[in-house]
Amino acid sequence: MAPGTTAPAAGAASPGPHAALEAQIDQWRGYVRRREAISAADVDEMEDHLRERVEDLRATGLDDDEAFLVAVKRMGTLDDLSREFAQEHSERLWKQLVLVGEQPGRARSWRELAVVLALAVAVGVTVKVATVLLPWETVALNVGLLVLPFLTAYLAWKRQVTARVVGALVVPFVALGLVLNLYPFQPTDSTFVLAALAAPVTLWSVVGLAYVGGRWRSDARRMDFVRFTGELAVYYTLIALGGGVLLGLTIGIFSLAGVDLEPYLDSWILTLCVPAALIVAAWLVEAKQNVVENIAPVLTRVFTPLTLVMLLAAFVVLATAGNLAAVDRELLILMDAILVLVLCLLLYSVSARDPLAPPSFFDGLQVVLVVAAVAVDAVALTAMLTRIAEFGVSPNKAAALGLNLLLLVHLVWSAVLATAFLRGRRPFADLVAWQTRFLPVYAAWAAIVAVVFPPVFGFV
């Protein structure tokens, strides 16, 4: 190394022989730091690189300015770099599909708003027309088919999917629509209720296919869809709360003026607004992801310890209750709900966690939570199995039992992977991959419940 080329310490502000260079590096840091996909630690790492490159270039005879320019050029353009970082660290910027690649201009955002509003009106009107023309049981059976195509259309438009993907999106809707409406259901059948419950779950996977733009094999994209789903639920709840307050105030004012809005509430306002709010919520999640990125994970942090306490209490109650054989399928359905809750807590903390961070206390707590959930479920399940063996299988019990087994498999293997991560045997990425890879199984089970159960159980 040439004499006199030792680099000053990082961030040295005193005017030295290389003050201009320091200012340039500071400015470069500022530019890089503004890219959301690149963290402060990454900038430190690259600054170290840049400084070494500058030193080496100066050693070959370049002056400060020249060396800096060449070094920055060799680093690569910021757009390319930020795209690479975004691809590797999608948890920092899970809206990369929107942010990087195309820079949405004003024209596009106005067009998007128009598309969103048109779809929101269309979905509201569709549901309204359906409620007028069809008996409510048929509407209930088809609710997913009436609403979700519009959400799917918005996402497919936004991702500009290929014709092949459009085909893959349309076919499930048509097929499920035909099957559900051609089956000779009676609205009192339990298979009818099950199909009405399972159909939206199945169709949600089609929404996911549109969300990931057809790239369903990618673990990272599927995790993005999980995040999208969580934020959508949060947004939808917020919109519903806000809308409820607004409606209440409006009804109050109108009633003071002697106009009664109540008759229109169910038949018009809710029928139009509840489905439309879903599209608007999806649009908000797409547009504002960065702002609320942390809501679902924060909720999991709050509720993980509370749920653990609840599970321990449930375990004590179940284990000391004695005659569990008397309880009916409600227990099974309750257990499914508890396991789904635990799974969501796990999924959303996993989705927001920095995969490179070392194991923490919270990760340990999470494993305890999963183990507790599995233990409670094991107690309930043994009780239920003896009962099913005694009284035979009904569609409800079979559906609930199947879901319970899937959840058990999911949670037990999650616990195994999380324990291996805590002990440093496996990277956190394995746990993440397992979460997203297992999710399609639920959609498949929902499809079986909706499509295979009715004929198998003879439409009872």
Instruction: Determine the residue type at 46.
Output: M
Place of tokens 């269309």: 122
Cα distances from 19 to residues 23, 66, 220, 287, in angstroms, run: 6, 15, 43, 41
**Interface residue with other proteins, options 89, 158, 227, 410 (CB under 8 A):** 89
**Interface residue with other proteins, options 2, 10, 241, 316 (CB under 8 A):** 10
x/- track of binding to other proteins for residues 325-364 (CB under 8 A):
------------------------------xx--------
Q: Whole-number minimum distance, CB 231 to other proteins, in Å?
A: 23
In the complex with other proteins, the residue whose CB is nearer, 38 or 439, is: 38
**Interface residue with other proteins, options 21, 24, 35, 85 (CB under 8 A):** 85
In the complex with other proteins, the residue whose CB is nearer, 52 or 266, is: 52
Q: Whole-number minimum distance, CB 47 to other proteins, in Å?
A: 8
x/- track of binding to other proteins for residues 405-444 (CB under 8 A):
---------------------xxxxx--------------
Instruction: Determine the residue type at 289.
Output: Q
Nearest to 148 by CA among 273, 270, 279: 279
In the complex with other proteins, the residue whose CB is nearer, 88 or 260, is: 88
3-state secondary structure of 395: helix
Q: Whole-number minimum distance, CB 415 to other proteins, in Å?
A: 19
Residue 347 structure tokens? 């999924």
- Asked if 9 is part of the footprint of other proteins (rule: CB under 8 A), the reply reads yes
Q: Whole-number minimum distance, CB 427 to other proteins, in Å?
A: 3
User: How far apart are the C-alpha atoms of 111 and 195, rounded to whole Å?
Assistant: 37
Question: Residues of 255-285 as b/e, b for ≥16 C-beta within 10 angstroms?
Answer: eeeeeeeeeeeeeeeebbbbbbbbbbbbbbb
Neighbour-count burial of 435, counting CB atoms closer than 10 A to its CB (0-12 exposed, 13-18 middle, 19+ buried): buried
The secondary structure of the chain in percent helix, strand, coil, rounded to multiples of 5, reads: 80, 0, 20
**Interface residue with other proteins, options 65, 66, 79, 80 (CB under 8 A):** 80
In the complex with other proteins, the residue whose CB is nearer, 71 or 119, is: 71
Residue 393 structure tokens? 């299988």
x/- track of binding to other proteins for residues 123-162 (CB under 8 A):
----------------------------------------
Residues 179-238 close enough to bind other proteins by CB under 8 A: none
In the complex with other proteins, the residue whose CB is nearer, 150 or 428, is: 428
In the complex with other proteins, the residue whose CB is nearer, 44 or 102, is: 44
Residues 40-79 close enough to bind other proteins by CB under 8 A: 41-42, 44-49, 51-53, 71, 74-76
Q: Whole-number minimum distance, CB 92 to other proteins, in Å?
A: 11
Q: Whole-number minimum distance, CB 88 to other proteins, in Å?
A: 4
Three-state SS string across 254-278, please? HHHCCCCCHHHHHHHHHHHHHHHHH
Q: Segment contacting other proteins (CB under 8 A): 84-92, 120-128, 165-173, 221-229?
A: 84-92
Total site size for other proteins, rule CB under 8 A: 33
- List the helix and strand counts (H, then E) for the chain: 19, 0
Helices (H), 321-427: 329-352, 361-391, 395-422
3-state secondary structure of 195: helix
User: How far apart are the C-alpha atoms of 325 and 328, rounded to whole Å?
Assistant: 8
Q: Whole-number minimum distance, CB 217 to other proteins, in Å?
A: 17
Q: Whole-number minimum distance, CB 216 to other proteins, in Å?
A: 21
Residues in CB range of 15: below 8 A, 6 or more apart: none
User: How far apart are the C-alpha atoms of 91 and 104, rounded to whole Å?
Assistant: 21
Binding interface with other proteins (CB under 8 A): 6-7, 9-10, 41-42, 44-49, 51-53, 71, 74-76, 80-81, 84-85, 87-89, 355-356, 426-430
